[in-house]
Amino acid sequence: MKKIILTFLVASITLISNAQQNGQKGQRMDPKAQTEKMASDLGLNDDQKSKVLTVNTDASTKRQALRSNESDPSNRRADMKKIETDRDGALKGILTDDQYKKYVQMREDERKQRQAQRGAGGE
């Protein structure tokens, strides 16, 4: 009987832990946290930081509005891509060439990491 209870307890803890991790997966950072991370990683000056915060806030607001709108998923994907393309274009005008190259590389690394996590989770 003790083994059954112990097994049930371990399984419950595992399920709860996985549910918490899965709930956090697709979440994006809020615009302020995202800007702070970019400022730290890219060495933004105060003027750049202010402009990047505006761009990040605008993109976040547009993404949130799109998520709350019950549109066709295929259209939503294209609309999200446009939001990100517009955001990248705005950032390219704010960041130096070296900062922008580093930003693009960081996004690519994050994309690869997400794909690896999805691949590991599906096995």
pTM above 0.75, yes or no: no
Cα separation of the two ends of the chain = 32
> Is 80 part of any domain?
yes
Does residue 87 fall inside a structural domain?
A: yes
Q: Distance between CA atoms of 25 and 38, rounded to whole angstroms?
A: 20
pLDDT tens for each residue of 53-99: 999 999 999 999 888 876 677 788 889 999 999 999 999 999 999 99
Query: Which one, of 113, 93, 115, 92, lies nearest residue 104 by Cα?
Result: 92
Question: Which alpha helices (H) appear in 1-123, and where do they start and end?
Answer: 2-25, 31-42, 46-68, 73-94, 97-121
Q: Which domain holds residue 104?
A: 45-123
Residue 109 located in a structural domain? yes
Q: How many domains does the chain have?
A: 1
- Examine residue 77 and state whether it is found in any structural domain, yes or no: yes
Q: Give mean pLDDT, residues 11-24.
A: 52
Residue type, 68: S
Residue located via tokens 């750049």: 48
CA atoms of 57 and 98, how far apart (whole Å): 23
Structural domain contains residue 53: yes
Dmax of the chain from CA atoms? 66
